[in-house]
Amino acid sequence: MIAYTLRRLGYGLVVMALVTVFVFVVMRLVPGDAVSLQLQETGVSAEEADALRAQFGLDQPVWVQLGSWLAGAVQGDLGTSFYGGEPVTELFLARVPVTLQLGLLAIVIGALLGIGFGIIAAVTRGTAVDAAVRVFAVAFLSVPNFVVALLLLTFLALWFAWSPPIVYAGFEEDPSSWLQQIAIPVLALGTGGMAAIARMTRSSMLESLGSDYIRTVHAKGARQRTVVFKHALRNSTIAVLTLLGLELATVLGGTVILEQMFAIPGTGQLVYQAVLDRDYPVVVACTIFYAGLFVATIIVIDLLYALVDPRIRTGRALS
């Protein structure tokens, strides 16, 4: 198990390194830079622009810039923002908790509702309830989360004359305002995951319920609840875990748009503005965060696989 874990950690570090280098290089190959944008906005002279490029290190070759950045990154220094001169690490860490609150709540709600609806659809196969779950799942999978957010916002405004607060307040400052502010984004982010997990749970449960193993459990006189929750659901765990890992990337990507829409000061809003401003250090820091969180989730899921099915960690998976 230790060797299996170390292999997964090694693969994860390689992926993060490749993603970081790729984003670092691509951002600098995009036409225009932060100094060019400042030149357009403030009308600085060519001499001042050259001085700014030298200050930011943008006058050096890309590989030299990458080497300098990596030398600082291994010491925990991700550079300073081109706008404001704030240390990227401090700027970024101040926003991470907001995005994690939003994303984790969406994943938890989507997983709980998705697994619940998937079980209901499986045990009521062929009925109106099963059909309704499948129809709603397809509908929510087809609609982008920001459209769901707009529909929820419109519905609540027209029918209940309610809209979320404009100014964001953290949970520590005002729990009531915080809950109102994130309610719609969390629901919008969670609907896509809920739909996908419901479909996967239903499919896996139906496969498990039709297996010889479950028929044997039924023949021994086990109650339906025991069969569903103790045996069939447990056998469906691996498929659902796989989807949960993939949904993490979807949820994190969705926060970029929704944080901008609802003025939520998370990493999504930060990276959106940083891309527009060509603020390279901030973009790279956000990329490391998203890649690291995704890789960490995949590693955790791989380890859970190994716990659920020991054959996986020894390389003898089911054929």
Residue 1 has what pLDDT?
Answer: 66
88, 160 Cβ separation under 8 angstroms: no
Question: Cα dist. 302→107, 278, 307 in Å?
Answer: 18, 36, 9
pLDDT surpasses 60 at 316: no
Residue 82's closest CA among 48, 57, 46?
Answer: 57
Out of 40, 62, 92, a domain closes at: 92
Residues whose CB is less than 8 angstroms from the CB of residue 267 and which lie 6 or more positions away in sequence, other chains included = 92, 95, 96, 98, 99, 255, 259, 286, 289, 290
Distance set, CA 157 to CA 168, 179, 189 (Å): 19, 17, 19
For residue 274, is it within any domain? no
Structure confidence at residue 32 as a pLDDT band (50, 70, 90): low
Whether residue 111 lies inside any domain: the answer is yes
Classify residue 238: in a domain, yes or no.
Answer: yes
Residues 79 and 207 in one domain: no
Beta bridge partners of 87: 80
The residues, ordered by sequence, that sit 6+ positions from 68 with a Cβ below 8 Å of its Cβ are: 57, 60
What does the pLDDT read at residue 219? 80
Q: Is the residue at 58 inside a domain?
A: yes
Same domain, 82 and 108: no
pLDDT at 317: 47
pTM exceeds cut of 0.85: no
Mean per-residue pLDDT for 208-230?
A: 80
What's 137's domain CATH number?
Answer: 1.10.3720.10
| Three-state DSSP class for residue 80 | strand
- Residue 194 and residue 114 in contact, taking contact as beta carbons nearer than 8 Å: yes
> Is 297 inside any structural domain?
no
Instruction: State the Cα–Cα distance between residues 242 and 67, nearest whole angstrom.
Output: 36
DSSP line for 9-21: HHHHHHHHHHHHH
Q: Which of 261, 293, 312 is the last residue of a domain?
A: 261
Residues 172 and 254 occupy one common structural domain: yes
The mean pLDDT value for 203-207 works out to 88
Asked if 137 and 198 count as a contact pair (C-beta separation under 8 A), the reply is yes
| C-alpha to C-alpha distance for 3 and 314, rounded to whole angstroms | 10
Give the Cβ contact number of residue 194 at 10 Å. 28
Q: Tell whether 64 and 117 lie within a shared domain.
A: no
The answer to whether residue 293 sits within a structural domain is no
Give residue 229's pLDDT band: very low, low, confident or very high (50, 70, 90): confident
Do 115 and 255 lie in one domain? The reply is yes
Domain that holds residue 41: 24-92
For residue 278, tell me if it sits in a domain: no
Distances from the Cα of 285 to the Cα of 93, 133, 263, angstroms: 10, 40, 21
Q: What angle do CA 19, 24, 27 make, to 5 degrees?
A: 115
Domain boundary among 43, 59, 92: 92
Query: How many domains is the chain partitioned into structurally?
Result: 2
Please check whether residue 241 lies inside any domain of the structure. Answer: yes
Same domain? For 43 and 152 the reply is: no
Residue 85, burial from CB neighbour count under 10 angstroms (0-12, 13-18, 19+): exposed
pLDDT tens, residue by residue, 172-181:
888 888 898 8
Do 74 and 113 have their domain in common?
no
Examine the pLDDT at 42 and tell me if it is beyond 70.
no
**pLDDT at residue 258 is higher than 80:** yes
Q: Are residues 162 and 143 in the same domain?
A: yes
Judgement on whether residues 69 and 215 belong to the same structural domain of the protein: no
Asked if 75 and 32 sit in the same domain, the reply is: yes
Q: Check if the beta carbon of residue 215 is closer than 8 Å to that of residue 78.
A: no
pLDDT of 309 over the 70 cut: no
Domain match, 118 and 241 both? yes
Does residue 184 sit in the same domain as residue 72? no
pLDDT per position as a tens digit, 91-135: 888 888 898 889 889 999 999 999 999 999 998 998 999 999 999
